[in-house]
């Protein structure tokens, strides 16, 4: 009975999402503008968290500058949802014009040399647009994720993210998968800028003027699996149009020392945030521990 209910919920929500995605983009952006009014002016969704995060990250900025970043963040944040919904049904040709990838040859180079590639990124820009990446390269791509507790919502997330061939891999299974499939090189996407539950002093570095703990799993997996590591730098060219640049971190993680990959990742993430301060996910309680 529970399984049947979950299936019914999943199909119903997907059908509604698909129908909404058929609406013109201008109309979806209008809905996003109303959502901005609610989230920023009326409800104030996590507004205190966002202001605190931005102010502490940019201590030299004046209040007016902080306020401008926060306001633009909320405007972009709600627009991202409209773009994600539209991508459910948007033709590949349309998305191909809106999402520009640069230096994908780097991925080909590593894969063709027989190495798995860990592609790490941050919550910058509309990172969900990376679901389109399998359309651009002819290699298997896995997005490492934490399964949702709701079975129906988890199925929906997998359905939406796998439209162009992206494969989702639970974080608890990624180590075994990478090490057991070394003969079939693939790309593994890691969102590595969240707050870890366990503090590891060897993985404590400064991010945006604040002492920050980092997940060690991504780097440990890279070294154990002897993978190449790249960073995906995401920026917004204009509303609804994005550029994703592949930047090298290392060609063979086995040759690196403890923390070296993580530190390089942090440097590139910082550059990404500084280029577009409003584009990072400021609602996340990154420094809660």
In whole angstroms, what is the distance from residue 88 CA to residue 160 CA?
Answer: 6
Name the pairing type of β-strands 187-191 and 117-121: parallel
In percent, how much of the chain has pLDDT > 90?
82
User: 210, 53 in Cβ contact below 8 A?
Assistant: no
In whole angstroms, what is the distance from residue 75 CA to residue 79 CA?
Answer: 6
User: 163, 131 in Cβ contact below 8 A?
Assistant: yes
Q: Is the pLDDT of residue 235 over 90?
A: yes
List, for residues 119-171, the tens digit of each pLDDT value: 999 999 999 999 999 999 989 999 999 888 888 888 989 999 999 999 999 98
Which residues lie closer than 8 Å to 19 by C-beta, 6 or more apart? none
Q: What is the DSSP string of 262-279?
A: HHHHHHHHHHHHHH-GGG
* Mean confidence (pLDDT) of the chain: 94
In whole angstroms, what is the distance from residue 9 CA to residue 135 CA?
Answer: 29
Beta strands in the chain, from DSSP E residues, in sequence order:
99-102, 117-121, 141-145, 167-170, 187-191, 204-207, 210-213, 228-238, 241-250
Question: 3-state class of 186 per DSSP?
Answer: coil
Residue-range domain boundaries for the chain:
2-279
List, for residues 88-102, the tens digit of each pLDDT value: 999 999 999 999 999
* DSSP-assigned beta bridge partners for residue 212: 205
List, for residues 25-71, the tens digit of each pLDDT value: 999 999 999 999 999 999 999 999 999 999 999 999 999 999 999 99
Query: Nearest 10 degrees: CA dihedral of 96, 100, 102, 104?
Result: -30
* pTM of the shown model: 0.94
List, for residues 181-226, the tens digit of each pLDDT value: 777 899 999 998 988 887 788 899 999 999 999 988 899 999 999 9
**Token duo for residue 167:** 């494969």
Which residues lie closer than 8 Å to 186 by C-beta, 6 or more apart? 111, 116, 117, 139, 140, 141, 142
**Mean pLDDT along residues 69-95:** 97
Q: What is the pLDDT of residue 288?
A: 77
Beta strands in 150-227, from DSSP E residues, in sequence order:
167-170, 187-191, 204-207, 210-213
Rg of the Cα atoms in the chain: 19
In this structure, what are the phi and psi dihedrals at residue 138, rounded to the nearest 5 degrees? Answer: -105, 50
Phi-psi region of 166 (alpha: psi -120 to 50; beta: other; left: phi over 0): beta
Q: Is the pLDDT of residue 289 over 70?
A: no
In whole angstroms, what is the distance from residue 107 CA to residue 229 CA?
Answer: 9
**Token duo for residue 248:** 């090298």
């Amino acid at each position: 009975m529970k399984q049947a209910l979950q299936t019914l919920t999943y199909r119903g929500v997907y059908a509604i999402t698909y129908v909404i995605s058929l609406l013109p983009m201008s109309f979806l952006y209008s809905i996003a503008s109303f959502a901005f009014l609610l989230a920023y002016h009326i409800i104030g969704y996590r507004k205190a968290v966002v202001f605190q995060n931005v102010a502490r990250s940019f201590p030299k900025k004046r209040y007016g500058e902080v306020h401008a970043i926060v306001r633009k963040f909320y405007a972009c944040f709600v627009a991202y949802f409209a773009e994600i919904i539209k991508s459910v049904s948007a033709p590949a040709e349309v998305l191909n014009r809106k999402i520009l990838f640069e230096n994908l040859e780097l991925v080909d180079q590593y894969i063709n040399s027989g190495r798995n590639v860990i592609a790490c990124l941050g919550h910058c820009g509309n990172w969900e647009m990376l679901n389109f990446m399998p359309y651009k390269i002819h290699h298997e791509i896995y997005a490492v994720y934490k399964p949702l507790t709701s079975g129906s919502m988890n199925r929906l997330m997998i359905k939406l993210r796998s439209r162009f061939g992206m494969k989702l891999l639970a974080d608890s299974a990624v180590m075994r998968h990478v090490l057991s499939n070394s003969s079939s090189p693939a790309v593994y996407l890691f969102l590595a800028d969240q707050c870890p539950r366990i503090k590891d002093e060897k993985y404590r570095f400064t991010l945006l003027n604040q002492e920050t703990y980092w997940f060690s799993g991504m780097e440990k997996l890279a070294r154990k699996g002897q993978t190449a590591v790249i960073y995906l730098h995401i920026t917004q060219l204009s509303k609804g149009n994005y550029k994703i640049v592949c930047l090298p971190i290392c060609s063979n993680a086995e040759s690196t020392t403890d923390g070296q990959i993580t530190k390089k990742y942090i440097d590139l993430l910082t550059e990404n945030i500084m280029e577009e301060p409003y584009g990072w996910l400021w609602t996340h309680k990154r420094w809660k521990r």
